[in-house]
Amino acid sequence: FGYNFKGKKALVTGAGKGIGRATAKALVECGADVVALSRTESDLKTLKTECPGITTVCVDVADLQATREKLWSITPIDLLVNNAGVTSLQSFLEVTPEEYEKVMNVNHKAVLFLSQYVAKWMIDRGKGGAIVNVSSMASKVALKDHTSYCSSKAALDMLTKVMGVELGPHNIRVNAVNPTVVYTEMGRKAWSNPQKATPVLQRIPTGRFAEEEDVVKAILFLLSDSSSMINCETLLIDGGFCAN
């Protein structure tokens, strides 16, 4: 990937599968000391087998107290990737409070409070840091059956900007990446039906959905000093979908 994160400790949430797992592995490849957090132990076990040097933490980020307790011995952290996310497919008229809360708790509330915890350590240490929130193209376009998800990611984009404004003076940059569909487990859940996927695909000027690696490369760039003047950005990885 061409980056050197030697001497940096990186925390990636939702690192058991998909984009988070690929990001954790890429950071290991770039020399970072990586902490992979997820909520399914078997995923973390296989990741540890693939990358023996990695530290794993099994916790649900929606449980704020348990997450803080687990991270206590791991801080301070230089690089944070808030990637854990969930979706729930319900038409607007059928959204339930339970599903809405589940999505908001993981995609927004957990990011706020985990970042708050990590940022306090970064500030105390005085060495700055970088935070990347994994948002979505769904923060910028309204997608049918994605009421809770689109709302959570739009809120995450604004959270990213406010965090960047307040943490920037401490040399902590905060940015988001906003990918289009990636065929991970989550992507397959929402976009396996060609009747749904094809019209979206047809609107992407580059003619394809994103690969995990497309997202990983953008995350690494935003974590690295190559983006040292980029803060509060929400970076679309959509092949031009939103411009079209």
* Catalytically annotated residues: 149, 153
Rg of the chain (C-alpha set): 17
Cβ distance to ligand NDP smaller for residue 171 or 182 = 182
Instruction: Return the number of the residue (127 or 188) whose C-beta is nearest ligand NDP.
Output: 188
Q: Provide, rounded to whole angstroms, the least separation between the CB of residue 25 and ligand NDP.
A: 13
Residue 211 to residue 221: CA distance in whole angstroms: 16
Q: How far apart are the first and last CA of the chain?
A: 30
Look at residue 210 and give its three-state secondary structure. Answer: strand
Rounded to whole angstroms, the Cα distance separating 82 from 79 reads 10
User: Letter for the amino acid at 193?
Assistant: N
The answer to whether 10 touches 80, Cβ cutoff 8 Å, is yes
Tell me which residue has tokens 């690494």: 220
Three-state DSSP state, 221: helix
The tokens of 102 are what? 């589940």
Q: How far apart are alpha carbons 35 and 27 in whole angstroms?
A: 10
Least CB distance to ligand NDP at residue 183 (A): 7
- Report the residue number, 169 or 194, with the smaller CB distance to ligand NDP: 194
Please state the closest distance from residue 244 (CB atom) to ligand NDP, in A. Answer: 17
Nearer to ligand NDP by Cβ, of 109 and 161: the residue is 109
Measured from the CB atom, is 85 or 129 closer to ligand NDP?
85
Q: How far apart are CA 3 and CA 29, in angstroms?
A: 9
Q: How far is 24 from 216, CA to CA, in rounded Å? A: 9
Smallest gap, in angstroms, from Cβ of residue 122 to ligand NDP? 21
With 0-12 / 13-18 / 19 or more C-beta atoms within 10 angstroms meaning exposed / middle / buried, residue 69 is: exposed
Q: Which residues bind ligand NDP (CB under 6 A)?
A: 13-14, 16-20, 38-40, 43, 60-62, 83-86, 106, 134, 136, 179, 181-182, 184-187
Minimum distance, C-beta of residue 135 to ligand NDP, in the bound complex (Å): 7
